Amino acid sequence: MTGGREAGFGPRATVMLALATVGFAVNFWAWALISPLGPMFRESGALGALSESDVALLVAVPVLVGSLGRIVAGAMTDRYGGRVMFPIVSGVTIVPVLFIAFVALDSYALLLVGGFFLGIAGTVFAVGVPFVNAWFPPERRGLAIGVFGAGMGGTAISALTTVKLFTNVGEKAPFLITAVVLAVYSVLAWLLLRDAPGRVVPTTSLASRLNANARLPITWQACVLYAVAFGGYVAFSVYLPAYLKTAHGLTPADAANRMAGFVLVAVVMRPVGGWLSDRFGAIPVLATSYAVVAVGAAVSAGAPPLEGVGTVAFLAMAAALGAGSGATFALIARVTEPSRVGGVTGLVGAAGGLGGFVPPLIMGFVYGRTESYAIGLWLLAGTAALTLVLTLTIVRRTAQRQEAL
């Protein structure tokens, strides 16, 4: 009997899930610190004359590093366990947070450097999924991983607090507060976290595990699914403030608040997507999610007013992207052997982060040449529609084949 089956939904497993979710939220809070400030930097001119593409690059760099870093973080978690990796990632992230606060706030180039290393915080997702997965039985992993995934709401904390602290308390305030919270969590994680009993530790090399995991059909298929679902969420969470300010004339604070609303809807729907996947299967949840995103993006491309249709379209996409993200890892948990979940999660998580890196750059590039976001939103609608077809054909067959084994 595996550790997950022994643990079930008992008190100890629930405590571990709660601690992991808090760690995810705290690190994502740090990961998203630059995003709400991007429009302010451009407007104030403190970093020089920044273009829309400059702002897009600034907010996208942490996403890129956090995404690629998940490949290694996931494989290392398979080997060393979340009990070691959670405090390490959280502790190391304090360094770039303080670097930005004390060194980089008046330099675009140094902010890019700080953002690069801030990306380390984004790797925590690949630490948490295998950690949580090992504590729960297969039939409960969709909900458990969905609850953990709600920690992505750390980006909402950043959206709601960063601009207010930056303008009302002091430029360093949001970074110093985040650094303190990271330090406290690092200590608590080291003292309280425990890996699931019976956790299988791989003995093969990192390179061989990465190669073997990359060859699994579910890996590349889930990479596509997550690149669209979580990638879409990340893209909106980092770029929505700039979009709302430019396209709809909102103030930075109002844009950040609306972005927080988008994030909160996605966060709530992520465990719901996992729970629905446990109950009805991941494929129907994924298919519904991509259909909603395709329609929502097509509607948004017409630039409807925010008072009404525009807000409904964005919130519907937030709900669908959150549910789709939860369903993707519910699918992985059902069809992947536990000792490989960390490695597969790292690769899939990287794809999701990369999916969030590219759209802001495209949107900034397109807007800089057309002064319209419609093309970028139509591309999202088309991508979601193609992913819907993939889900109902190839992914469905893979899931049926693996669950039959």
Number of domains, the chain? 1
Among 266, 269, 358, residue whose Cα is nearest residue 314: 266
Among 211, 356, 381, residue whose Cα is nearest residue 299: 381
Predicted pLDDT of residue 9: 57
Q: What is the CATH number of the domain that holds 274?
A: 1.20.1250.20
Residue 318 parent element (H or E): helix 311-335
How many other CB atoms sit within 10 Å of the CB of residue 404? Answer: 6
Residue 107 per-residue DSSP state = -
Predicted pLDDT of residue 29: 92
C-alpha 215/C-alpha 209 separation (Å) is 10
Predicted pLDDT of residue 56: 76
Burial class (CB in 10 A: 0-12, 13-18, 19+), 124: buried
- Residues 91-147: pLDDT tens digits? 999 999 999 999 888 888 898 999 999 999 989 988 998 899 889 887 788 888 888
Among 199, 144, 184, 192, residue whose Cα is nearest residue 14: 144
**What dihedral do alpha carbons 196, 206, 67, 274 form, nearest 10°?**
-30
pTM of the predicted structure, to 2 decimals = 0.77
C-alpha 372/C-alpha 376 separation (Å) is 9
How many other CB atoms sit within 10 Å of the CB of residue 291? Answer: 16
The domain of 229 spans: 3-404
Predicted pLDDT of residue 284: 95
Q: Which residues of 10-42 are buried (b: 16+ CB within 10 A; e: fewer)?
A: eeebbebbebbbbbbbbbbbbbbbbbbbbbbbb
What parts of the chain have a pLDDT lower than 70?
A: 1-9, 43-46, 48, 238, 403-405
Predicted pLDDT of residue 7: 44
Can you give the length of the chain in residues? 405
Provide DSSP, 180-226. Answer: HHHHHHHHHHHHH--PPTTPPPP-S-HHHHHHHHHTSHHHHHHHHHH
Predicted pLDDT of residue 23: 96
Q: Is 45 left (phi over 0), alpha (psi -120 to 50) or beta?
A: left
CA distances from 321 to 60, 129, 285, 346 (A): 19, 18, 11, 19
The dihedral built from the CA positions of residue 231, 125, 317 and 300, taken in this order, carries a sign that is negative
Sole residue written with tokens 């139509």: 378
Q: Is 297:381 a contact under the CB 8 Å cutoff?
A: yes
Predicted pLDDT of residue 10: 75
C-alpha 273/C-alpha 271 separation (Å) is 5
Predicted pLDDT of residue 171: 87
- Residues 349-375: pLDDT tens digits? 888 877 777 777 777 777 778 777 788
Predicted pLDDT of residue 199: 78
